[in-house]
Amino acid sequence: MLKLVEIRGVTIGHGKPKIIVSLISSTRDRLQAEIEYLLQKKPDIWEWRLDFMETFEEAELIETLSLIRELTFPSPLLVTYRTVQEGGQGRLRSNAYANLLQLIAKSQLCDLVDVELFSEDNKQLVASIHAEGVKVIVSNHDFEKTPPKEELIWRLREMQFINGDIGKLAVMPKRPHDVLCLLDAADQMKTLYADRPFIVMSMGDLGVISRLGGHHYGSSATFAAGSTPSAPGQLPVELMKQLLL
């Protein structure tokens, strides 16, 4: 039986896929303006892409996070530090990466923290974030290709194994068949293995259909563009709300 994830009145894993919008501004003032612009779009979940920030001084990060929480409350808030290895801007590795995520979790100013599947000591990192009462999305991104279906399923299962509350898998298609491969993997995961929600997406123009119809294959949420897309193929949030299949 699928274990639903409930955060601040939003149920992930049941009903329509939840729309997540990423905040990617590099300064506090720009973030505030970005949020004020997007509030009228009413996303289900907000994501702060911490790796886009110009500074990583601890006190300033927490102050910025506090402002984001205040402006987006009571909607659920996800904080992500995406590394360059997975298509982001972040260059922290190993202990520095883990310490940053633990700092964010200990602040009690967000509901979810993203942990990359192939980060060092990933299972211990997930457990340390859970110890702060914060849920975890375990993620993996491949901006170069779509791995074989068996590998996709293994990665989604591994996200469950290390006890992520939600798994997230994003891959790049080279041909239309790659999109079908991802959706087939998602369907098999849903049917045979999933005991908690997961999110899948095929990126770029070829993969847009996975963002719009992925929930039919088990995907429980989708990412939409706010002021600027944070990944290839994201549709504007208002268009996503109109077109969700």
pLDDT score, position 203? 94
pLDDT score, position 189? 98
Distance CA 202, CA 118 (A): 19
Q: Let me know the angle formed at the C-alpha of 162 by 171 and 21, rounded to the nearest 5 degrees.
A: 45
CATH code: domain of residue 232:
3.20.20.70
All residue ranges of the chain with pLDDT < 70 are 227, 229-231, 233, 245
Q: Which two tokens stand for residue 20?
A: 């997540």
Domain assignment of residue 170, given as a range: 5-243
Is 130 among the residues known to form the active site?
no
For 67-117, give the secondary structure using H, E and C: HHHHHHCCCCEEEECCEHHHCCCECCCHHHHHHHHHHHHHCCCCCEEEEEC
pLDDT score, position 228? 72
pLDDT score, position 133? 98
The answer to whether 70 touches 32, Cβ cutoff 8 Å, is no
The backbone torsions φ and ψ at residue 116, rounded to the nearest 5 degrees and listed phi first, read -75, 135
pLDDT score, position 245? 63
Please give the tally of structural domains in the chain.
Answer: 1
Catalytic residue among 16, 106, 135, 141: 141
Distance CA 20, CA 45 (A): 5
pLDDT score, position 190? 97
Distance of CA 221 to the CA centre of its chain: 9
Q: Which two tokens stand for residue 80?
A: 């992500």
pTM score? 0.94
Query: What are the pLDDT digits (tens) for 25-56?
Result: 999 999 999 999 999 999 999 999 999 998 88
The answer to whether 126 touches 21, Cβ cutoff 8 Å, is no
pLDDT score, position 227? 66
pLDDT score, position 119? 96
Catalytic residue among 42, 130, 135, 168: 168
Is 141 among the residues known to form the active site?
yes
pLDDT score, position 94? 87
